Amino acid sequence: MSMSSALSPAKNSLRQEPFYRRMADPLFGIVTYGLIAVAIIVIVYPLYFIVIASISDPNLVQQGKVVLFPRGVTFDGYATIFGTSTIVRGFANSVLYTVVGTTLSVTMIMTGAYALSRKDMPGRNLFMILFVITMFFDGGMIARYLVVKELGMLNSMWAVVLPGAVGVWNLIIARTFLEQNLSSELREAAQLDGASDFRFFFGIAIPLSKPLIVLMVMIHLVANWNAFFDAMIYLNDESKYPLQLILRNVLIQSQASASGMDMASMDSTAAAQKMGELLKYSMIVVSTIPLLIAFPFLQRHFIKGATLGALKS
């Protein structure tokens, strides 16, 4: 039997296969890449628009004439922000609160999750019930304020970083991850080799939990960097304000000065409103850049950590 005759059934089957089936795979690829392109545009364009709007004439932005490129380029918004003496101090405060708060949160979550993942821990189910209850019942802002006041933490860094240091949902995720990846057999083998609980935690549990730790670091970095409400409630010394609270106050003062001006002075009112619009977009850019710079360095571990629990071997 010749090779051509052997291949002829395959050729005939390809010819007999319906056209829509032969086009299904290419069509699926086109649709998939098209949806991805649309998603990228929907996500990226608003960020790009904020950047070009922050250096464009606010009147042109409101008229919808700023679409792809900046028009009437001006850097007055950034000059006002960085010309304010409190901005640099607020930036330093935000960095301090973010670093201390993230370190404290990740440390407490990892140590607490490891303890709760140990089946030989007495009363671990009771502790988990107590933690979960806090997700459904909250004493409210007044109760938290009184607690912070009685602990002597008002007008200090600890009033900003301690009240929300441990998120119960993140604690549950970390505990579940450690339960699935740190088996009792692994711990027993380490104990046979002479490893103590501390050595097992720092030498085995922590290295195996690197994706989880990076995920927790990114979550708390974003949360602590963007936080301003606790600082607004617990801090009364402007020298301790974080960047987000200072930028909020700058924007409010700009809008208040615009609304409080004599309407007979239309030029001054229009200038104040223009500055308010510039500040709004400029502050978004200034407060977002640090996170955009940090994310690429942690992206690989963050993506791996974000899929924790999606697949279970």
Residue 52 lies in a domain: no
Q: Give the CATH number, domain containing residue 188.
A: 1.10.3720.10
Instruction: Find the mean pLDDT for residues 58-82.
Output: 77
Better-scored residue on pLDDT, 230 or 308: 230
Over the stretch 148-180, which tens digit does the pLDDT of each residue have?
A: 888 888 888 898 888 888 888 888 888 888 888
Please indicate, yes or no, whether the overall pTM of this predicted structure exceeds 0.85.
no
Domain-embedded: residue 53: no
Structure tokens at 150: 């009685």
**One-letter amino acid of 122:** P
Asked if residue 285 has pLDDT above 70, the reply is: yes
Residue 135 lies in a domain: yes
Specify if 301 maps to a domain: yes
State residue 263's pLDDT score: 43
Domains identified in the chain, total number? 1
* Residues spanned by the domain of 219: 78-306
Distance of CA 112 to the CA centre of its chain: 22
Q: Which residues of 148-181 are buried (b: 16+ CB within 10 A; e: fewer)?
A: beeeebeebbbbbbbbbbbbbebbbbbbbbbeeb
pLDDT exceeds cutoff 80 at 101? yes
